Amino acid sequence: MKTHELYCPALPSKLELIAPDALSSRAPLLPLGAMMMAGLLGVASPAQGEEEKTMSAVTVKANAEADMAAYLAGKTRVGKVVQDPHDVPQAITTVTRALMEEQEANSLREALRNVSGLSFNAAEGGRSGDNMMLRGFYTFGDMYLDGIRDTAQYNREVFNLEQVDVLRGAAAMLFGRGQAGGVINQVSKTPMLYGSNKVGVGVGTDGYFETKADLNQRLGESSAFRLNVMSREEGSPRSNPVTGASPENQRTGVAPSIAFGIGSDHEITLSHLWTRSNDRPDYGIPFTNARPDQSYAKSGAYWGLSNTFDDSETNVSTLSSLYTISAETQWRNVARYGKYYRAYWASAPGSATSFSSGGSAKTREFTTDNIVLQSDLNTAFNLFGMRHELITGVEYLREDSQRWALANVGTTASPLYRPGVYTTGIPNEYHGDTYSAYVQDSVEFAKNWTFTAGVRRDEMRSDYVTVAGSGSTATATRFAGNFGENSYRAGLSWQPEADQHYYIGWSDSFSPTADLYQLSGSTYPAERSKVSELGAKWLLLDGNLAFRTAIYHAIKNWERNTDLESAASILTKKRESNGIEFELAGRMTEDWEVFGGISLIDAEILDVSPSAPDNSAVGQFPRNTPKLTGNLWTTYKLPGGFKVGGGFDYKSKRTGYVPTRTYANPNTVPSYLRWDAMVSYEQPKYTVKLNVQNLFDKRYYDALYDNGGFTVPGQARRVILSTEYKF
């Protein structure tokens, strides 16, 4: 067995280990410690029925720098148990911490530029915060934090994330109600028994300044404490030609966590995430003749005022425990309470005469309180000569939200909106209780052949109140949203060798969307999606490079695809999406690493709902769905501690529909190709790095408000110089 140079935060700096007999890298249901060891050592056991072989000693050289340069994820829990992504019978993209840090991608939006087939929405239908499309389907109901639903409207940061897993395709059987595009799961950093401490600072153009720290301290034989903190300010070259105001972001975050029993039969982790934002939001520029208005784009015109704002505070507390009952059985329990607050007054672009009054006011204040209880059990056993890997679990989710529109306490010419001053004292409200249970079994019925089947039941009891009008004429209407739905997953895998995986899968999902303020949820059936996927995964160059490809077909019924706050918001009764994806991640040579992907999508609206004004949407390409997307990031180590890197992000043209335009001539943003570059000087104790984002200062349109008349220009060229000290 050859030497593998890997970073293992739970091990001393250098340690020789003897690989256990018959340790299987394809056994995702081993105890957590054993599974991590199997993934780190890259050890494969004989297939069932083969003669067991004694493996030779393996030397593991812990190397933090090697890990920080790794774009190939070694593990994921996106399938409810710790697995190698190579073994998941579904397309999955993992954006690692190393990739995010090298690109200076400090927000979740920036990190997700590494995911092909993904595009961005702009303030869709009052849906503020992170809002993406994946494979042409919206994802704001498919955001997760450590496997727990995270659909509140806020801007997510990555300072406390170890990686971001994007599981493509319908995933309701594993996660509950959702869409056809996939699940975006953020994976938090956790305390380690061993690991370096890091502090860093970055300065850049347009007022960019960031400080951050990742501090880990061992407390005892099996306990540790970790603290991640961040503070960042960002400006913009865009400005209001009348008032001189410019967009800006001010973000702060603190994330402490403590763990007990690390590596033992009973691990307990308690964590908290606190973030705050004080931004001046940018809603972009208007369309003229169905295209972005170039006069405003070239001049950098901004409709915001000095007193427009977007303020938020997020608090998420989580308690998790992992019991290792036996060598092949684990029981995981999680309890979470999340409290989210947000208030904003944004200025949507309008005419040239509206600069002084901030264009069209978009106001909102809301609070969200979520309680989640999860319990998952996984075990492995032999029955009738076949290997079974069983996972089962239950979940309870309580969601409470209130939302108001802010009142103008100024004048039309000089507007002023303040939190706590509402157009009506009656809030829009949502209250929901969801009870869920699931079971899935993976059966190796023949050598190297595994069949997976699972079912989940969700019972949702909810009610929501919508308010029409304002002041004394305001009226409230209450709706009940009670749903009981099954979700299914099935797949067939063939892994003839440890480095090859071929699979075919089918999955479905449902989404009543009442919890997302989709008011038409009371009138029409829940959204239903069905996805079929044929894929292959290979590990190349002794496992250092992963290459995957997938072909998929998705059908979605009763899609809510216009303004979420409209009671008549369904236009698509049925549509389909067909696509093919390619992705490469890992190390080409000892010094050369690469991460890239290509996605091609062919989609069509097949039928419209009874609420549609006409049939003009039939046969059209769906909203904000680029036919071709691609991304690449690659780095190369030079002598003397230097490293150079760069890459691109490409999206073909996208369309958005507005009531005043026909589907035959929709608003459209053109394709774009953005290049980034990086050079760094790395030493054992410190790193100095220079990033240039949008290297050629390309004018492009990043986010599309697909139900309105504006689009948000992308990041102008930005230069960031950062340094990091390790101790």
One-letter identity of residue 422: Y
Q: What is the pLDDT of residue 531?
A: 95
DSSP codes, 429-453: EEEEEEEEEEEEEEEEEETTEEEEE
Q: Does 98 have pLDDT greater than 50?
A: yes
Q: Give the C-alpha distances (Å, rounded to integers) separating 555 from 117, 172, 616, 622.
A: 17, 15, 20, 13
**Neighbouring C-beta atoms of residue 269, cutoff 10 Å:** 22
Cα–Cα distance, 164 to 162 (Å, whole number) = 7
Q: What is the pLDDT of residue 523?
A: 66
DSSP codes, 62-120: E-HHHHHT--S---B-TTSS-B-GGG-SS-EEEEEHHHHHHHT--BHHHHGGGSTTEEE
Q: Does residue 285 sit within a domain? A: no
Q: Give the C-alpha distances (Å, rounded to integers) separating 583 from 479, 578, 673.
A: 44, 17, 18
One-letter identity of residue 523: T
Q: Which helix (H) or strand (E) holds 33?
A: helix 32-41
Q: Does residue 335 sit within a domain? A: yes
Among 342-351, 654-663, 710-719, name the one with the lowest average pLDDT.
654-663
Q: Does residue 507 sit within a domain? A: yes
Handedness of CA 173, 178, 182, 185 (dihedral sign): negative
Total tally of structural domains belonging to the chain: 1
Each residue of 16-55: pLDDT tens digit?
333 333 333 333 333 333 333 333 333 333 333 343 334 3
One-letter identity of residue 470: S
Cα–Cα distance, 302 to 240 (Å, whole number) = 4
Q: What is the pLDDT of residue 249?
A: 95
Among 193-197, 429-433, 560-564, 670-674, name the one with the lowest average pLDDT.
560-564
Q: Does residue 261 sit within a domain? A: no
Ordered alpha helix ranges (H), 151-301: 172-175, 294-299
DSSP codes, 601-624: EEEEEEE--TTSS-STTTTPPPTT
Each residue of 44-95: pLDDT tens digit?
333 333 433 343 343 333 444 444 448 999 899 888 888 899 999 999 999 9
Ordered alpha helix ranges (H), 352-479: none
Q: What is the pLDDT of residue 81?
A: 86
Q: Which helix (H) or strand (E) holds 363?
A: strand 360-383
Q: Does residue 510 sit within a domain? A: yes
Q: Does residue 297 sit within a domain? A: no
Each residue of 671-702: pLDDT tens digit?
999 999 999 999 999 999 999 999 999 999 99
In the numeric block, the tokens 């001393």 are attached to 12
Cα–Cα distance, 666 to 8 (Å, whole number) = 52
What's the whole-number average pLDDT of the chain?
Answer: 85
Among candidate residues 79, 151, 202, 185, the one with its CA nearest the CA of residue 369 = 151
467 vs 506: which has the higher pLDDT: 506
- Range 412-449 burial, b when 16+ CB lie within 10 A, else e: eeebebbbeebbbebbbbbbbebebebebebbbeeebe
Q: What is the pLDDT of residue 74?
A: 87
CATH number of domain containing 589 = 2.40.170.20
Each residue of 146-198: pLDDT tens digit?
999 998 888 899 999 999 999 999 888 888 888 888 999 999 999 999 878 99
Among candidate residues 191, 278, 259, 168, the one with its CA nearest the CA of residue 534 = 168
Q: What is the pLDDT of residue 65?
A: 42
The answer for residues whose C-beta is within 8 angstroms of residue 577's C-beta and 6 or more apart is 135, 136, 137, 180, 552, 553, 554, 556, 601, 602, 603, 622, 625
**Averaged pLDDT, 131-143:** 86
Q: Does residue 648 sit within a domain? A: yes
**Torsions phi, psi for 34 (to 5 deg):** -65, -35
Each residue of 591-621: pLDDT tens digit?
999 999 999 999 998 988 776 777 778 888 8
**Range of the structural domain that residue 614 is part of:** 63-210+307-674+694-714
Q: Does residue 401 sit within a domain? A: yes
Q: What is the pLDDT of residue 670?
A: 95
Model pTM above 0.75 = yes
